[in-house]
Amino acid sequence: MRAVRVVVEGIVQGVGFRPYVHRLAVKVGVKGYVRNVGGSEVEIWVEGDGDRVEEFIKLLPEERPPPALIESMQVFEVRPKGFNDFKILPSGKERIRRSMIPPDFAICEHCLREVLDPKDRRYRYAFNSCAWCGPRYSMMLRAPYDRENTAMRKYKLCSECLKEYRDLRNVRRYHAQGISCPKDGPKLYLMTSEGEHLDTRDPIEEAAKLIDEGYLVAVKGLGGFHIAALATDDEVIQKLRERKSRPTKPFAVMGLNIETLSKLVVINSTAEKLLKSPERPIVLLPKKDGSPASPLVSPGMDVEGIFTPYTALHYLLLQSTKDKFLIMTSGNPKGLPMCVNDECVTRYLRNVIDYVLSHDREIVNRVDDSVVRFTRNSPVLLRRGRGYAPRWIKINKELGQEVIALGADLQSAGAVGFEDKVVLTQYIGDLDNPETISELDKYLKFFIENYGIDPGKSVIVVDKHPLYFSRRLGLEYAEKWGVTLLEVQHHYAHALSAAADTGILGEDFAAVVVDGVGYGDDGAIWGGELLQVDSDLRYRRLGHLKYLPIIGDASVERPARFLATALIMALKDEEEAWNIMRSWGADKGLKGGRLEFDALASQLRRGNYVPTSSTGRVLDAFSALLGVRMERTFEGEPAIALEAYSRRGTLVDDIAYSFKASLEGSECVVDTLTPLKQAVFSEDLRKEDIAASIQYGVGYGLGLCLKRYLAGTGIKHVVLSGGAAVNDWIVKGLEDALKEIALSAILPSRVPPNDGGIALGQVAYVIGWGKDLY
């Protein structure tokens, strides 16, 4: 007789793992029990003949349910207790090992088949799910993952569901915590924007009819509300843009299936796999000529953000519409988090939408849709939300203590860290209002509680920027709990994030960080950075884009202002700079015309500006010069539009290779003014070619600088991070420059390279904390 106690961590709660263990135990012929435990882990006790116990241990990771993920199994030899059978025991609240809180899973093919089968008792049931699919994190109140700890606690199983729940042979529903049916589960209803309930036999059919008639309908999904609208009607889309005060930002399109979406975009095999995956992110893909989608869905863009239904509700709604694809955009008031309940919709969206398709299941945790794009033919996360969060990121170094990281202020996500694991919150948003800051606070505290973080023994890590709201929240935490507060330079955190994602912490590496803004060690605004990080995680700045003057936040919102000051710097002649602005039509981006230009020139002469090495501002300036975007209405808009505009461009050598690298003191500086002069005196060239050459040149110039330092150093790794790190032209330029020393740049794959992944780097900083910088 042999007995073992097995503790399993990974995604093992809410995925049918305990039922699987029970069936395996019966199959092999061992006795004992399995139960969920309070740290989201699973504890198993098996005893019996030694060979059978050994077979159980061998088969346990091999035949697990599809969504389950085993990261580690600890096996302890114990004394047999003489169990007579094998059981699933009630969950324990104690924490043996920390494990992963499960993310939400898209509806599986089996559940969808039931929904579409007229003979099935779950026919057209909008909330069908099983052990392998459905909401998890979005409806979870606390660990362990049991029905009583989720939003399903108020729905009592009917006799038929209870029979499935107790049937060991029912692979998908035995002990599945979230199951339900039309008799006992959540209920749908249709309302006006004022909250008046409408009497309708089939809320989904009626909502589809209203959408087809041109109405805007808020739809309650897994992690929040969408606004659904026709994607083929210009008038409807224009109405949506006006009501949402969203003049140009692209909308996402949800389509019934791959066949439907292939009429809109080019879908390769990797993209199709993503669109059919349990994560079901929004994927940015090249538009097809002749697409039935209106150009107003994503004006000026060469890609469309598309995704497939991840709940039965979405599928049934799309199936009932004439087009079989719809705009599905976040149902949020401008600048605020996405609505998760009817009260928010009727209060904040009543003047945006016409009707509401809702239900009575609570959304406990708001989770936005994840977004993926392709950079140099590889998928890269832009927004980490539903399907990915809150999976932890396992890093290749022990932290040594527990960490709470606040992230940055744009596209924010915070994190907690312990052992060799970092748990990032889902995408939170921009922290420019109290509501979003409150969301960051809420989800950090959710992880602190559910992962057993002791705040009084933790370290708080924040961005170095003195005005960041995330930093202020970190200061509150540090004062409240009486713990150490660490400040980390923004681009250094980006570099550490990419290294942690890649698994190279503890090795010497170089980093290229290209973004819009970050507070520099010298008080300047950094954003086009070359860093070297050693095995002790000490860093030094190797180089950067040339400092250019930025005058006020208005120069970020209206990039023609930044262009004007750059031209004055480049040409050293204010009148000539003004004439260039006029000849290219860029003066239209100055609301005050010549008076505003002269005011900027005056400020420049007086030295009333902040120096910046921002890649984002350089790209914005060229976007304004070429007439692509004169105003930024959403984060990164001018640069994103510039990349789209240049997609069919070809390189012009005189511009692409004019980003010369030179030493200024101990740092290598990439010249951005010479390329600007080259561009403005090249009016005979195609603007698309100029755009392509400028973006390529930024990457190539930074690569040239990096070559100066890396040749002969033995450094084998170069990581790439920052919001502009996904730009195809920049990455190509960087790779071409690094080819000569047989290096390539590695982008993160598990977190976004933008500020949504920066908290990972802040946590990783603690590994080298206390070691002197260069």
How does strand 610-612 pair with strand 217-220? unpaired
Beta bridge partners of 72: 9
d(CA 315, CA 328): 12
Catalytic site residue from 2, 5, 18, 153 = 18
Neighbours of 663 (CB within 10 A): 11
Distances (CA, A) of 95 to 38, 202, 416, 450, 615: 5, 45, 17, 10, 46
Instruction: Decide: residue 672, CB within 10 A, 0-12 exposed, 13-18 middle, 19+ buried.
Output: buried
18 is catalytic: yes
Cis check: omega of the bond before 295, within 30 degrees of 0? no
* C-beta of residue 532 within 8 angstroms of C-beta of residue 540: yes
Distances (CA, A) of 388 to 106, 167, 377, 429: 11, 31, 21, 16
* C-beta of residue 751 within 8 angstroms of C-beta of residue 729: no
Phi (first) and psi of residue 326, to 5 degrees: -145, 155
How does strand 252-255 pair with strand 325-330? antiparallel
Alpha carbon dihedral 363, 368, 369, 371, in 10-degree steps, equals -160
d(CA 199, CA 368): 30
Residue 134, amino acid = G
What sign does the dihedral 51-57-61-67 (CA atoms) show? positive
What sign does the dihedral 95-99-105-111 (CA atoms) show? negative
Residue 649, amino acid = G
Beta bridge partners of 192: 355
Cis check: omega of the bond before 390, within 30 degrees of 0? yes
d(CA 109, CA 246): 36
d(CA 38, CA 40): 5
d(CA 495, CA 526): 14
* C-beta of residue 533 within 8 angstroms of C-beta of residue 508: yes
169 is catalytic: no
Under 8 Å CB-to-CB from 413, ≥6 apart: which residues?
A: 384, 389, 407, 424, 425, 426, 427, 428, 756, 757, 759
Catalytic site residue from 2, 23, 35, 36 = 36
* C-beta of residue 103 within 8 angstroms of C-beta of residue 59: no
d(CA 609, CA 546): 15
d(CA 389, CA 370): 9
Query: What SS3 class is residue 664?
Result: strand
Buried/exposed 255-293: b ≥16 CB within 10 Å, e otherwise: bbbeebbeebbebeeebeebbeebbbbbbbbebbeebeb
d(CA 149, CA 72): 25
Q: At 380, which helix (H) or strand (E)?
A: strand 378-383
Q: At 73, which helix (H) or strand (E)?
A: strand 69-78
Going by C-alpha positions, the residue among 95, 107, 4 that lies closest to residue 56 is 4
d(CA 750, CA 283): 15
**What positions carry a catalytic annotation?**
18, 36
